[in-house]
Amino acid sequence: MDIRQLTYFVYTYQSRSFSAAAKQCCVTVQTVSKAIGNLEHELHDEALFVRKNNGVVPTDFGRAFYPRALHAVEVFKQAQGFADEYQEQQKQGRVLSLLICTPPFPHSEQVCANVSKLLAFVARRNNVRVQTEIGAFAESITSLEEETTDIVVTLGKPEITKFDVVQVGTVPTAVVMTEIHPLASSETITAQDLKQYPIIGSQDFDRERTGSIINVYKQKGLDLSLHYPTTLFSLVGEYYKNNGLSLVVDIPAIVPSNIGFIMKPIDPEDMISLPICLVTRKGEKPAGYEPIKLFLLNGGLAQGFSSIK
């Protein structure tokens, strides 16, 4: 037997009519009648229907056979639907999920869109579309474990062994402050400057991993006064009332103009370059991984950020 025979049987059973089944299946009445006859023959000549002048009536065997045939037809439709959907996705390109592990910043959504376009361009030969988001470190690792994210980009090398970690570049560090900060007129910020003012950190990005900017400086022996504001009000207070500073990567687009904040480079003698790393699940890498890795090795991440003015 084949799926067409079972399909014709199911429609005939439901409509009690060869002609109605033929219309639903877009075939002739003769096609349905012949297929049912062949099916009955393959079922050891067990009759499925009793033919009447005004239609058909299922036999006892036909009634018992119907739920099994219906299940087979439904499973076939599901399999066919999956195949159709898969082919459509192949035409559109696979979606590669990439999560950049960094605190939110102004224009972060636009930066993500730009990075996605750049990465999709380099991965186009693999028919891959790239979706980029900003996320916290713990959230990023969880998404890798649950396979909802394919690649995590970290600023700073995380000390984890359950995933593959590949360094694809470095980025210098800098300091963000208000435009009225006592250090605002300084050309560069020294380690001694950093020790004189509160350093504003993020619990999600600094307390949960050793590779964050703050923790890298702490490992180098710099004694910092760390503050972790939990509300927007307390964050503003740290910046304006306490003259707080934030350690960031030296990508100017992170701090757009006209928002009351400025970015200052750290003195070359005190500046630490932060590794940019790709974190992926062990084993075979997703389609598009290699060209994306090569792109980032050539400074591609900075291109996505620098396109924001």
3-state helix, strand, coil in the chain (%, to 5): 45, 25, 30
| pLDDT (average), residues 256-284 | 88
| pLDDT (average), residues 200-218 | 75
How large a percentage of the chain has pLDDT more than 90?
Answer: 37
Q: pLDDT band for 12, please (50, 70, 90 cuts).
A: very high
pLDDT of 208 > 60? The answer is no
Entry field: residues in the chain: 309
Q: Please, what CATH class does the domain formed by 93-170+275-306 belong to?
A: alpha beta
pLDDT of 302 > 70? The answer is no
| pLDDT (average), residues 268-282 | 89
Tell me the C-alpha distance between 271 and 217, whole Å: 9
Provide the pLDDT for residue 308: 46
Pick the CATH number of 3-91 from 1.20.1080.10, 3.40.1350.10, 3.40.50.10470, 1.10.10.10: 1.10.10.10
Provide the pLDDT for residue 305: 58
- Tracing tokens 């959230």 back to the chain, one arrives at 139
Higher-pLDDT residue of 115 and 216 is: 216
Tell me the C-alpha distance between 110 and 126, whole Å: 24
- Tracing tokens 């003012």 back to the chain, one arrives at 197
The backbone torsions φ and ψ at residue 88, rounded to the nearest 5 degrees and listed phi first, read -65, -40
Higher-pLDDT residue of 50 and 216 is: 50
Q: Using one digit for the tens of pLDDT, what is the confidence trace for 111-146?
A: 666 776 777 677 666 667 777 787 778 888 888 999
Q: pLDDT band for 107, please (50, 70, 90 cuts).
A: low
Higher-pLDDT residue of 139 and 57 is: 57
3-91 and 93-170+275-306 in the same fold:
no
- Tracing tokens 């200052």 back to the chain, one arrives at 264
pTM, whole model, 2 decimals?
Answer: 0.60
With beta carbons less than 8 A apart as the criterion, state whether 168 and 293 touch: yes
pLDDT of 176 > 70? The answer is yes
| pLDDT (average), residues 68-82 | 88
Conformation bin of residue 258: beta by default, left when phi > 0, alpha when psi is -120 to 50 = left
| pLDDT (average), residues 204-229 | 79
Provide the pLDDT for residue 303: 59
Identify residue 231 by its one-letter amino acid code: T
Provide the pLDDT for residue 54: 85
Instruction: Please state which CATH number belongs to domain 173-265.
Output: 3.40.190.10
Lowest mean pLDDT among 43-52, 120-129, 233-242, 269-278: 120-129
Higher-pLDDT residue of 283 and 211 is: 283
Average pLDDT across the chain, whole number: 84
Provide the pLDDT for residue 86: 64
* Domain residue spans of the chain: 3-91, 93-170+275-306, 173-265
pLDDT of 31 > 90? The answer is yes
